[in-house]
Structure 1
Amino acid sequence: MISETAAQTARHARVAAGLAELERWLGDQVRLGLGQAGDRDWDDLVKRLVDAQAPGAAGLVARLERVRAAAGWPGALLSEYALLNLLAVAYRRRAELPPALARTVLTRVGFTTSRAEVLAEPHVRDRWLVLGVRDEPLDHVTARRVWLRGQATGRPALILTFTPAAHPMDETPPPGSTLEAALAFYPAAAPLRALIAGPDGEEPPEFARPGIPAPGPHGTFPAPDAVAGLDLHEDSSVPGRRVREDFGAVSVAAALEEVAGALAADPWTDAWPLLLDAVVPGRADLGGLPLHPACHDPWRLIAVSGGGPVTVAAEWTPRGLRPLTVWDDDARPVPL
């Protein structure tokens, strides 16, 4: 019987060979020109990376087809190639990296962290604001992202679950609600994904799905128009508007610094939650920051704002912001 150490060594050998092939392939693409690769080339490379037990890298290659189909694809495709090459090099030199970054590299390549390992991490107890919920259809499953922000810590968090495509999604806390809970974050250079832990350090047994609580003793979900304990005050610089301070809504400049810090720690970050203060939405931007192409003409957001500044929770992505929730003049959250 192969020991765990031997199995890990064998897997690392397979992954190293697969990523070495990826490096050679990327070099060929840059030398021959960005227009040389076709869908079949990417499909074949994805299959070889999966065979090499590097599913994370395979997923990054799989999205290249969507990148090339979008407007302005040459620059975007070159950026994706650069991130893939960086991942391959970082994996090869992981022994030289700080432990947290080395762990991030392994995760991005496709090595998993068990739930027991995550729950063994130090817990962060706070009152968490649900910034928004977004569902993303993937192959045969739907990924649900529940974005949180801590009141005392100001930390962002992501509760990520996967549901088979044919199954109904489980109940989740509505945007604008709050949750008293302890979170255990997956180890990473820029910790973001987390699990909700019970008082005994284990995941609460009555949770309907891993990481997503049902109403019960471990957390309550007040109605979106009844968020308890949020202090609102008049902002003299924004006449007639009330802004939310308890959960650390920030300016656009501060939000950009937050994203820059996340990218400096983890260059492969592809989403980060923001709570923006006093931003004016437009048809293609939010407070001057570009919207994701799929989110242009956000008429619901514009209608709630009335053309004035509002507090907005949004998901940052390299292609632009995805608005999640806006708070109206009466501090009521409106999901977008």
Structure 2
Amino acid sequence: MTQQGVRWTTDQVLALAPDASSRKAGSRLGVAGPWSETGSSTEGAVWGLCKGSGSKPYQTIVDTGGTGPAYKCSCPSRKFPCKHALGLLLLWAADDAHVPPEQTPPEWTEQWLESRKKRTQPRPPNPEAATTSTTATNHEAAQRRAERRAQRITAGATELEQRLTDLLRGGLAQAEQAGYGLWEETAARMVDAQAPGLAARVRELGTIPASGPGWPMRLLEECALLHLLTQAWQNRATLPEDLATTVRTRIGLPATPITTPLRDHWLILSQYDTADGHLTTRRIWLHGERTNRTALLLSFGAAGRAPSLALPTGLTLDADIAPHPGAGVLRADLGTHHTPPAPTTTRPEGKRIAQALTAYGQALTTDPWLESWPMTLTNVIPIRTEDGHVWQLMDATDKTALPVPTRTPSPPDLWRLMALSGGAPLTVFGECGHKGFTPLSAWTHQSPEVISLH
């Protein structure tokens, strides 16, 4: 980041990589050899020419300021950022010698920056806006569509209730015998009913019988939560408005963000991706310095593409967000960036393990379908059990501990967390849920830099 000479660290750059192969390829290009005509501007642009296999070098530009980061490269890669953009950022993060600051962008860079600026500027109001009668007609049509969709969802929820009843009457053993096909058919019926939230939960049911010992209890628990959701939908008119909004969101209906923007200096605590084969979901956790509020930004990429939104972990962003409505809902949409991301020494106040569990329990009272809740744990030490199979975060004072779910994060990241601790207490941000605590980032009193664990 070039605001007042501020630059990203290597970890912050690598955290933007869409996958491990891009991270490795970008690291190989993070040296001066293949680069020429590099430079950066005070507005946050970084550019350079990278020698490739063709006769012409690749023109690579990264806009790290304003509404950035954004990337442009003449290479044929469909990944964002590509390996050339990552290599350029790594070279720029190293020092000023190879990417001089306060330079005038070349013409090919200036053209892209200008076109990007025009695209991101808000459009002026249309002087020939729709009349009041047209607006009213559109509103009535939208209401009719919403009513028809609600009727289809209600029919789907009723059918799902019947299928759950049949399953419990016949015994859970039939779920193991029937295999995944039974649930996939039911999920397809929920998609037809325009209830994607129900469809996703039904697909999760299908994976439980093959999940190992204790699966009947886990299946029964998930069936109970699904039953609770269908009943809440059918009785939504009697629920408090916040809870009814949460139910609509869990069913899969889109939520309209609150129009009043919430401005703060948002510390970027974590960024990580999950994929289901068709869609990549990027989760970015923010923490407001003034509001002490935690917010979740979601960005999506389809057909193997990386999500477009990417923010450097550990920096702070002066920006507006638009929170989504609902009881205990943390999701928000990112609005205007007032300044580029910059370093900060402010960190969220951590909680002890007992306090974290209490906070998670309170969150469940407002949203029983929560998988996890964001939490910052303080004074904890990463350890392994004597058999070496289970990772834990142990409170250094009272020796209570939370298990770390297997496979998430990966073992190398857990060893990195242990190396950062060195046997001493540290502060860890992550997600606390019924499976344990998933670490996402960490820092120590001696080294306050936020280290990403994904």
**What's the offset of the Cα at 1:171?**
5.5
Q: In the TM superposition, what are the counterparts of 1:267-306 in structure 2 within 5 Å?
A: 267-283=368-384, 284-287=391-394, 288-295=401-408, 298-306=414-422
Q: Equivalent of 2:436, from 310, 314, 320?
A: 320
Tell me by how many angstroms 1:61 deviates. Answer: 0.7
CA distance in 2, matches of 1:171, 1:316: 24
Q: Can you list the C-alpha shifts for 1:209-268, whole angstroms capped at 9, x where unaligned?
A: xxxxxxxx534223xxxx3243xxxxxxxxxxxxxxx42222112212221121110111
- 1:62-119 CA-partner distances (Å, limit 9, x unpaired): 1223333324322222111111000000001001000111111111111112xxx315
Secondary structure of the residue aligned to 1:46 is helix
> CA deviation digits over 1:260-292, x for unaligned, max 9?
121110111123211111111123211311111
Give the Cα–Cα distance (whole angstroms) in 1 for the partners of residues 209 and 312 of structure 2: 35
* 8 A Cα contact 2:318 2:341, kept in partner: no
Partner of residue 91, structure 1: 233
> How much does 1:165 deviate?
3.6
Question: For the residues of structure 2 that align with 1:175 and 1:148, how far apart are their CA atoms?
Answer: 9
User: Mean alpha-carbon deviation: is it higher for 54-63 or for 168-177?
Assistant: 168-177
Show the 5 A alignment for 1:1-336.
Answer: 3-37=141-175, 38-71=179-212, 72-113=214-255, 117-120=256-259, 122-170=260-308, 172-198=310-336, 218-222=338-342, 227-230=343-346, 246-283=347-384, 284-287=391-394, 288-295=401-408, 298-328=414-444, 329-336=446-453
Aligned residues: 295
Q: For residue 18 of structure 1, report the CA deviation from its aligned partner.
A: 0.7
SS in 1 for 2:383: coil
* Contact 1:316-1:322 at 8 Å conserved across structures: yes
Contact 1:148 1:158 in 2 (8 A): yes
Aligned partners of 2:300 and 2:308 also within 8 Å: no
One-letter amino acid of the structure 2 residue matched with residue 189 of structure 1: A
How far residue 316 of structure 1 moved from its aligned partner, in angstroms, is: 2.2
What is the identity percentage for the equivalent residue pairs of Structure 1 and Structure 2?
A: 39
Provide the secondary structure at the position in 2 that maps to 1:308: coil
- Confirm or deny: 8 A CA contact 1:293 1:320 kept in the other structure: no
What's the offset of the Cα at 1:157?
Answer: 0.9
State the distance in 2 between where 1:124 and 1:33 align.
Answer: 50
Distance 2:210 2:404 in 1: 18
Partner SS for 1:63: helix
Q: Compared with structure 1, are the counterparts of its residues 93 and 119 closer, same or farther at alpha carbon in structure 2 (3 Å cutoff)?
A: closer
Equivalents in 2 of 1:66, 1:319: separation in Å? Answer: 16
> In 2 relative to 1, CA 75–308 (structure 1 residues): closer, same or farther, beyond 3 Å?
farther
Counterpart residue identity of residue 184, structure 1: A
Normalised by the length of structure 2, the TM-score is 0.61
- Write the distance in 2 (CA, Å) between the matches of 1:268 and 1:108: 8
CA distance in 2, matches of 1:269, 1:247: 22
CA distance in 1, matches of 2:273, 2:378: 25
- What is the alpha-carbon root mean square deviation over aligned residues? 2.0
8 Å CA contact retained: 2:180, 2:207 = no
What one-letter code is carried by the residue in structure 1 that aligns with 2:165? G
Q: What are the ranges of 5 or more consecutive residues in structure 2 without an aligned counterpart?
A: 1-136, 385-390, 395-400
Q: Which amino acid aligns with 1:35?
A: A
Contact 2:360 2:433 survives alignment (8 Å): no
One-letter amino acid of the counterpart of residue 289, structure 1: L
Distance 2:303 2:435 in 1: 26
Identify which range, 50-59 or 61-70, moves more after superposition: 61-70
The corresponding residue for 1:242 is none
Tell me, in whole angstroms, the C-alpha distance in 1 between the residues paired with 2:194 and 2:392: 40
* 8 A contact 2:164–2:223 mirrored in 1: yes
The amino acid across from 1:333 in the alignment is V
Query: Which letter maps to 2:354?
Result: A
Question: SS where residue 118 of structure 1 aligns?
Answer: coil
Specify the SS of the correspondent of 1:3. Answer: helix
Deviations 1:4-28 (A, max 9, x none): 3332222222111110111111122
TM-score by length of structure 1 reads 0.82
The Cα of 1:169 is off from its aligned counterpart by: 4.1
Q: Mean Cα displacement is larger for which, 137-146 or 162-171?
A: 162-171
Q: Distance in 1 between matches of 2:345 and 2:298?
A: 27
Decide which structure has the larger Cα Rg and report it: 2
> Once structures 1 and 2 are overlaid, which stretch shifts more, 123-132 or 140-149?
123-132
Taking the aligned partners of 1:261 and 1:272, their CA distance within structure 2 comes to 10
| Cα deviation, residue 299, structure 1 | 1.3
